[in-house]
Amino acid sequence: MTVRIGLCSAAHLHADSYAACLHDLPNAELVGVTESGGRVDEGRRKADEYGVDYLDPDALLADVDGVIVCSTNADHLEWVRRAAAAGVDVLCEKPLAPSVEEAREMVDRCRRADIHLGVAMPLRFNQPVRNAKTAVENGVLGDIRFLSGTNRGQMPGGWFADEDEAGGGAVMDHSVHIVDIVRWITGEDVHEVYAETGTRFNDISVEDLNLLSMTLTDGTEFVLDGSWSKPEEWDFWGDATLRLVGTEGIVSIDCFDQKLKQTRDTGDPGIRSVFWGSNPDEGLVADFVEAVAENRPPLKTGADAVDDVAVVEAAYESANRAEPVDVETSEITSATN
């Protein structure tokens, strides 16, 4: 069975990678790209770049088995509404939505339409992360006592730094990746968050640095730096790390440590790091394609992602109030969509 997939917008930086992954999968076909509003010309350019057709939204949704939403954060809800109305499974870029209210509506609409809603959390397919999850499940670390993570990258620019289109800055963009794998590995939710944010590295209207001090539901402390703190001249885009400290041992994860340093006497940049490890996007896209074919939920469901958005929402509230804020865990986390 060939699963037909469409891209609803290519505004997100990850759209290029997902398109490449779909082209490489033998059981998948990238049918086309669609866009809305003022981004139609961009959508047409991306369709040409990917070697597929540009279709209007209704035409694409009528001709696919599933879609990947790579729009601005603010447009996630509208694309999911369209997909639900068409009865098409969805893989949505992270975060699921800029607010818990919108995220819950997306989950509810997909449940009522009897379609599956997944969220793009590729670090679940990163081998070091999977190794750490296995170690924790096998009791190698004993009881987890402390977690410390980073997701420090370069400021992506464009709509990512526009609060109306993104919903925020570095907290909105980077926090959910590490929050998700902590919740996935430990089986615990974030109970409380204290956030400090600021804008120190870039001339933008949203925050580019943050430090989140969190407590999980079992009392474990969890600290996360998810800043846009790497300069444009940096040799690699950033990092994604997690250190788990247990009563019986410690595990340190560096998701993108498999790099070679390349130095050139010509060209720009002169020094760069080349990643040679496995591409977690491939696992993410393959899982979604298989989920559509098997009529099952993807590994990361929309219902589960609502609680990631709740952490982000609580972090912004905490930064505004300068005090810790409780995270309201969703009642729909255990649902399939």
DSSP classification of residue 93: P
DSSP for 25-41, please give it: -TTEEEEEEE--GGGHH
Residue 157 CB contacts under 8 Å (≥ 6 apart), including other chains? none
What was the pLDDT predicted at 337?
Answer: 59
Exposure of 253 in the CB half-sphere (CA atoms within 13 A): 29
Give whole-number Cα distances, 68 to 38, 243, 312, in Å.
19, 31, 23
The answer to whether 255 and 153 are in contact (CB under 8 A) is no
Give whole-number Cα distances, 168 to 47, 173, 193, 208, 325, in Å.
28, 8, 17, 10, 18
Q: How would you classify the pairing of strands 3-8 and 66-69?
A: parallel
d(CA 88, CA 83) in angstroms, rounded, equals: 5
Mean pLDDT by 10 residues, the chain (337 residues): 96 97 98 94 97 98 98 98 98 98 98 98 97 97 98 96 98 97 98 98 97 98 97 89 98 93 73 88 98 98 98 98 93 52
Q: Residue 218: how many CB atoms within 10 A of its CB? A: 12
CA 148 to chain centre: 19
Q: Residue 274: how many CB atoms within 10 A of its CB? A: 11
What was the pLDDT predicted at 24?
Answer: 97
What was the pLDDT predicted at 335?
Answer: 45
d(CA 102, CA 104) in angstroms, rounded, equals: 5
For the chain, list the domains and their CATH numbers.
3-122+282-300 (3.40.50.720), 127-277 (3.30.360.10)
What was the pLDDT predicted at 334?
Answer: 44
Nearest to 15 by CA among 49, 38, 41: 49
DSSP classification of residue 276: -
SS3 label, residue 293:
helix
What was the pLDDT predicted at 267?
Answer: 65
At 111, the amino acid letter reads: R
Q: Residue 129: how many CB atoms within 10 A of its CB? A: 22
Structure tokens at 70: 């790579």
What was the pLDDT predicted at 17?
Answer: 97
